[in-house]
Structure 1
Amino acid sequence: KQSIFIQTETTPNPDSLKFIPGVEVLSDGQIMDFPDFKSSQVSPLANSLFKIEGVNRVFFSSDFISVNKYPEQDWAALKPEIYGAIIDFYNSGSPILSEHSSDINTDTTILPEDSEVVAMIKELIETRIRPTVLEDGGNIKYMGFADGIVLVQLQGTCSSCSSSQATLKGGIERMLMHWIAEVKGVVAISDDELNELNLEYFK
């Protein structure tokens, strides 16, 4: 058994904590967001974290796991269970993903059909914006660009954080508008809107 020493770090969202197991979570550069129990089926670890009462979102990066809870739940009660689930998982030797998931960070891959503006937006998100958002235990995903508006999805810690609107408008929107004249604003879409939206329009 490997001895796992898990550190925790707070995030700007009081209902989200970063758990740092000191071993690789996802292989380099990968990130995965599990907004609900159904999405966690591809990962034994995410799945067991969702089985802890009070957990409502899980997010993996290469070196941390962020866990979001419902506001009425107390970290003091949840933390030991989360530690237990992470340690049990690493001692089990199971792969972190039970099947290859298509969600491995391909949103900012620059495609041949991308316009120069879209390529620049993707490049900025990948190199300047995502590293900052990851620091806080979350992620930003590029969803599309239409009529001067960049559509993004905030994941992990950032998804339910009250300061995420400020981050979005203050940091992300300002940076994109500063570097790219064609960008007039940034809009974050929620998981529910994502399910309803026909994204064909933004492709």
Structure 2
Amino acid sequence: MNIQDIPYIIYAEETPNPSSVKFVANKLLLVSGASAEYLSPSETIDAPIAQKLFQFPFVKRVFIQSNYITITKQDALEWEEIRDELRVFITEYLNKGNSIINKLPEQKVAKDSSFKETVSINTQHTAPGNDVENKIIEVLEQYIRPAVEQDGGLITFKELKDGVVTVQMRGSCSGCPSSTMTLKAGIEALLKRLLPDDVKEVVSEAV
């Protein structure tokens, strides 16, 4: 059977952010290395599925990557009230053959090792500038990014300046109460241990 003939199956997965749930598909939604985040309906002109999701009044943020959609809700409702409704909607939407994203948004994207893979998919990466930055990116890609993506988020390196590493966090990581702890106890501690002469602090920049 051709993979295109296999129907979409969607299941919901909790994330460390109580406001976000990861809706995982059994097939890719975007090509490898691509991602898209939408913070308001006005940004979704080229993303039909995000446009439809924002028609639910409780949807606050939509992040799409690989085989999942991370949805961040408004605080007024609990996930128990809306999770199944969203899961059914996404499943039916995809199985009707509707478009997911027609064109990726032009975002302020940090630099990472996927630069060569994603530059042709409409992103604005800047190639890594030096050996220290390359090492930081390598550490993020190898040790941090897989775990963050597992939780429905994305972390990318932006810059190193005067010993301060700036990263950008999207999806479930954005606004997550535990993200500061993750940043300091996990990412900062690891980079300071591996690059003690180059890294003094790690901060997150809002996207």
| Distance verdict in 2 for CA 1:81–1:41, change over 3 Å | farther
Equivalent position to 1:25, from 29, 32, 37? 29
Aligned to 1:185: 201
1:2 offset after TM fit, Å? 5.7
169-178 vs 107-116, greater mean Cα deviation: 107-116
Residues 90-129 of structure 1 correspond to what in structure 2 (within 5 A)?
90-103=94-107, 107-109=111-113, 114-129=129-144
179-188 vs 24-33, greater mean Cα deviation: 24-33
Q: Does 1:147 align with 2:162?
A: yes
State how far apart, in whole Å, the 1-side matches of 2:86 and 2:158 are. 31
Asked if the contact 2:154/2:169 (under 8 Å) is kept, the reply is yes
State how far apart, in whole Å, the 2-side matches of 1:113 and 1:156 are. 23
State how far apart, in whole Å, the 2-side matches of 1:2 and 1:91 are. 9
TM-score normalised over the length of structure 1 = 0.83
SS in 2 for 1:25: coil
1:106 offset after TM fit, Å? 6.6
State how far apart, in whole Å, the 2-side matches of 1:147 and 1:39 are. 34
Q: Does 1:10 align with 2:14?
A: yes
Count of residues in correspondence between the two structures: 191
| Distance verdict in 2 for CA 1:35–1:93, change over 3 Å | same
Aligned to 1:159: 174
Asked if the contact 1:177/1:184 (under 8 Å) is kept, the reply is yes
| Structure 1 unmatched ranges of 5 or more | 192-203
Equivalent position to 1:43, from 44, 47, 54? 47
Aligned to 1:67: 71
State how far apart, in whole Å, the 2-side matches of 1:67 and 1:147 are. 35
Counterpart code for 2:206 = S
State how far apart, in whole Å, the 1-side matches of 2:104 and 2:174 are. 24
Asked if the contact 1:18/1:137 (under 8 Å) is kept, the reply is yes
What's the C-alpha RMSD, in Å, of the aligned pairs? 2.3
| Structure 2 unmatched ranges of 5 or more | 116-125
State how far apart, in whole Å, the 1-side matches of 2:202 and 2:128 are. 22
Asked if the contact 2:12/2:87 (under 8 Å) is kept, the reply is no
1:124 offset after TM fit, Å? 1.7
Counterpart code for 1:163 = S
SS in 1 for 2:132: helix
Counterpart code for 1:120 = K
State how far apart, in whole Å, the 2-side matches of 1:33 and 1:141 are. 14
1:131 offset after TM fit, Å? 0.8
State how far apart, in whole Å, the 2-side matches of 1:104 and 1:8 are. 29
Asked if the contact 1:30/1:104 (under 8 Å) is kept, the reply is no
Aligned to 2:119: none
Q: Which structure features the higher share of helix residues?
A: 1
State how far apart, in whole Å, the 2-side matches of 1:39 and 1:168 are. 28
SS in 2 for 1:183: coil
1:66 offset after TM fit, Å? 1.0
Asked if the contact 2:12/2:83 (under 8 Å) is kept, the reply is no
88-97 vs 62-71, greater mean Cα deviation: 88-97
